[in-house]
Amino acid sequence: MFEPPTLKDIAIALGLSTSTVSRALRDTYEISSKTKKRVLDYAQSINYQPNPNALSLKERRSKSIGVVVSEVANHYFSQAISGIESIAYDRGYHIIISQTHESYEREKINVQHLASRSVDGLLVSLSAETNDISHLKELHDKGMPIVFFDRVSNEIETHKVRADNFQGAFDATEHLIKTGYKRIAHLTSSPHLSISIERLEGYMAALNKYNIPVHSDYIKNCPHGGMFPEETERAVLDLLQLQEKPDAIFIAGDRLSIGCMEILKKLNVKVPDELALAGFSNSDVLDLFEIRLSSVRQPAFEMGQAATEMLLKILESKYPITEFENRTIATKLFIRNS
Amino acid sequence: MFEPPTLKDIAIALGLSTSTVSRALRDTYEISSKTKKRVLDYAQSINYQPNPNALSLKERRSKSIGVVVSEVANHYFSQAISGIESIAYDRGYHIIISQTHESYEREKINVQHLASRSVDGLLVSLSAETNDISHLKELHDKGMPIVFFDRVSNEIETHKVRADNFQGAFDATEHLIKTGYKRIAHLTSSPHLSISIERLEGYMAALNKYNIPVHSDYIKNCPHGGMFPEETERAVLDLLQLQEKPDAIFIAGDRLSIGCMEILKKLNVKVPDELALAGFSNSDVLDLFEIRLSSVRQPAFEMGQAATEMLLKILESKYPITEFENRTIATKLFIRNS
DNA sequence: CTGAAAGCGCTAACAC
DNA sequence: GTGTTAGCGCTTTCAG
């Protein structure tokens, strides 16, 4: 079907050897400028493009990086992917995307799939279900460069990029406290995830600072990060049915924030009068919402960019990397409901 | 760095030839079941995975498909990509994504980039700027399978998937008319795009049906589909400053719908009292908006799936395809503001 | 039933 | 300055 020209075609057409053509195209010094020009011109005229598979086979790298996220159709991830793509593109890399849908099994399969050498490195944000990361560890031990972003793991020593989840959670919770709320619940994702742990710590730190006791009934986990609406609904209902009903919820995730607002709307709970909210969200239309959600926004695009730069640094380094960077990028609090 | 086992490694370890190993792994009939088992077991034990680049080089196909969209971080496209990925994944294909950011130049480069043989086929949704598609035509003539989705072109004969833009626009406009609006403006994207043309036709057909004259001042184009907020703002302001101000706007795009609501909010224009809206949008949080936007939702996920299935049909067909499908999938109108 | 050898497109010693 | 050759990992004749 689609049979693009090869080096050989050029060589034959010009009565040269393939190696000469190869050298001319890659501008090696030991080649007459006359032949060089001849080759270049001809290559241009037939729109010659080297076969990337042959190159990959030869150079043992594919100039592509694998990206593992839970869902593409997610505010945070689609923005992060945009950042990843912006850097990768400039540096001549393709990105290959796979989704875990928050499933551990799917994550294993995807990683395996990507790893079987079609990618030079991996940009990974763990699935909500993932607790055991031996699949990644094994790969990493074999030499596959991996950079974590957003949902990171401490069990692998490599570059990591995360949002300042602690501070973001602290800020949001403190905002609720300062606005006058006392019984602040916390709705969060899977307890394994680094983001959940860090945000929980931020939440607790804020409560501590103001001498508000942490109430374990007030902390609700949604193991799939709100991917299933029932999960979120159950958690919210549980909170609403507590004897000492919370007067505010700090929500530790985008889908959870949205899901929670949907449920409260359905239940006709007035926000913030009956229940105040503050939550992580990367939606860019929060200003248009009826509920004035105070939100913590993660620097998704920048995080994608940073992670990609780090990965490329590993990929293009001549020497093995031993010092790993652990970058934390600030979140931003947007106050809306007070 | 990362040096996975090869056929040769297995062959040496087992004292066989690479060809025998190759045959054993692919379960060729003419091989003793004993050797077969020995090879299979060993391959399993070292977790052997064939090198995809070598395979691609040999088989002249990469089991990957290129996807060209304007932005990943866009409701419609991220949902469509999700659909694309769902099918591709099941069939063992990778997807390689590139963004045009609505730029013609970037589209040309990306297509070129993808085309240089690393992908077996292309799934394309044209950029807003694209008027001339010779870059795609050339490629297609050389045998690169291309399937268009959403923003299609009639200049290439191939499979196409689109939303029922005409009907969607008709429904939205008719809804505005039936609700009592008479001076209905139309805010749309680049006039080259198939989606703009079809939606304009639907808009005009609805006006015609109710004997409302089409007023050319009422039709405003945003050449970049609202990617630049100024563009949208200019268009909306122009409409608001008309002598005979429209009482409603039918908006033909997701970003435009969002952008328009943002501007109206800024200008403190009451919706729908001062100006009613209905527009295309694939946002899944419209129910939470303060403005009750009646929306036309495109079947993004299904469109991605359909386009991918069509492309795979071409890729995996033994014979050249001569009959092309032109599938139109129904949109859905969600009435909110009346 | 198995092995040797060629070839996919390219680069890099190594000749001359 | 240019050609020859080998090899990246794999499949596939062709021999035996």
Tens-digit pLDDT profile for residues A267-305: 999 999 999 999 999 999 999 999 999 999 999 999 999
Strand D contact with B18 (CB < 7 A)? yes
Q: Which of residues 71-110 of B touch A (CB under 8 A)?
A: 71-75, 78-79, 81-82, 85, 89, 94-99
pTM of structure: 0.89
Interface contact flag, A52 B117, Cβ < 8 Å: yes
Residue with tokens 């974590």: A148
pLDDT of residue B116: 75
pLDDT higher than threshold 70 for residue B273: yes
Amino acid at the residue A127: S
Tens-digit pLDDT profile for residues A183-225: 999 999 999 999 999 999 999 999 999 999 999 999 999 999 9
Tell me, yes or no, if B195 comes closer than 8 A to chain A by beta carbon: no
Look at B52 and B282; give whichever has higher pLDDT.
B282
The Cα–Cα gap between A7 and A19 comes to: 8
How many CB atoms are located within 10 Å of the residue B269 CB? Answer: 16
- Gap from A49 CA to C16 C1', in Å? 31
**Residue B330 phi, psi (nearest 5):** -65, 145
- Gap from B17 CA to C4 C1', in Å? 9
pLDDT of residue A263: 96
Residues A266, A302: contact at Cβ < 8 Å?
no
pLDDT of residue B200: 98
Strand D contact with B54 (CB < 7 A)? yes
Amino acid at the residue A43: A
Q: Which residue is nearest to nucleotide D8 (CA to C1')?
A: A58
Tokens of A73: 């159709």
Q: Which residue in the set A73, A85, A287 is minimally distant from B99, CB to CB?
A: A85
Interface contact flag, B97 A78, Cβ < 8 Å: no
Q: Which residue in the set B97, B144, B288 is minimally distant from A262, CB to CB?
A: B288
Q: Which positions on chain D have an atom < 7 Å from some protein CB?
A: 1-5, 7-13
- Give the nearest nucleotide to A55, CA to C1': C10
Strand D contact with A49 (CB < 7 A)? no
pLDDT higher than threshold 60 for residue A149: yes
Residue B199: which H helix or E strand, with range? helix B194-209
Strand D contact with A26 (CB < 7 A)? no
Q: Among residues B316, B282, B304, which one has the least CA distance to residue B147?
A: B304
pLDDT of residue B5: 87
Task: Give A-chain residues touching B71 at CB under 8 angstroms.
Answer: 82
**Least confident interval from A45-54, A291-300, B102-111, B199-208:** A45-54
pLDDT of residue B199: 98
Residue with tokens 């899977």: A190
Task: Give A-chain residues touching B51 at CB under 8 angstroms.
Answer: 57, 116-117
Q: Phi-psi region for residue B290, left (φ > 0), alpha (ψ -120 to 50) or beta?
A: alpha
- Gap from B275 CA to D10 C1', in Å? 65
**Cα dihedral B171, B177, B179, B181 sign:** positive
Task: Give B-chain residues touching A103 at CB under 8 angstroms.
Answer: none
pLDDT of residue B338: 52
Q: How far is A211 from chain B (nearest CA, A)?
A: 34
pLDDT higher than threshold 90 for residue A259: yes
Interface contact flag, B72 A85, Cβ < 8 Å: yes
Q: Which residue in the set B72, B89, B289 is minimally distant from A289, CB to CB?
A: B289
Amino acid at the residue B312: L
Q: Which residues contact A167 (CB under 8 A, 6 or more apart)?
A: A202, A330, A331
Tokens of A294: 């105070």
Predicted confidence band of residue B32 (pLDDT cuts 50, 70, 90): confident
pLDDT of residue B3: 74
Residue of chain A with shortest Cα separation from B265:
A288
CA distances from A324 to A128, A137, B137 (A): 25, 16, 47
Q: Give me the residues paired with residue A312 across strands.
A: none
Predicted confidence band of residue A117 (pLDDT cuts 50, 70, 90): low
3-state secondary structure of A98: strand
Residues B303, B161: contact at Cβ < 8 Å?
yes
pLDDT of residue B288: 96
The Cα–Cα gap between B83 and A327 comes to: 33
Predicted confidence band of residue A1 (pLDDT cuts 50, 70, 90): low
Interface contact flag, A97 B85, Cβ < 8 Å: yes
The Cα–Cα gap between A320 and A326 comes to: 17
pLDDT of residue A167: 98
Tens-digit pLDDT profile for residues B187-235: 999 999 999 999 999 999 999 999 999 999 999 999 998 889 999 999 9
pLDDT higher than threshold 90 for residue A146: yes
The Cα–Cα gap between A24 and A48 comes to: 13
> What does DSSP assign to residue A66?
E
Tokens of A49: 């493009």
Tell me, yes or no, if A337 comes closer than 8 A to chain B by beta carbon: no
- Gap from B231 CA to C4 C1', in Å? 68
Across A82-102, average pLDDT: 91
**Cα dihedral A312, A318, A321, A325 sign:** negative
pLDDT of residue B222: 95
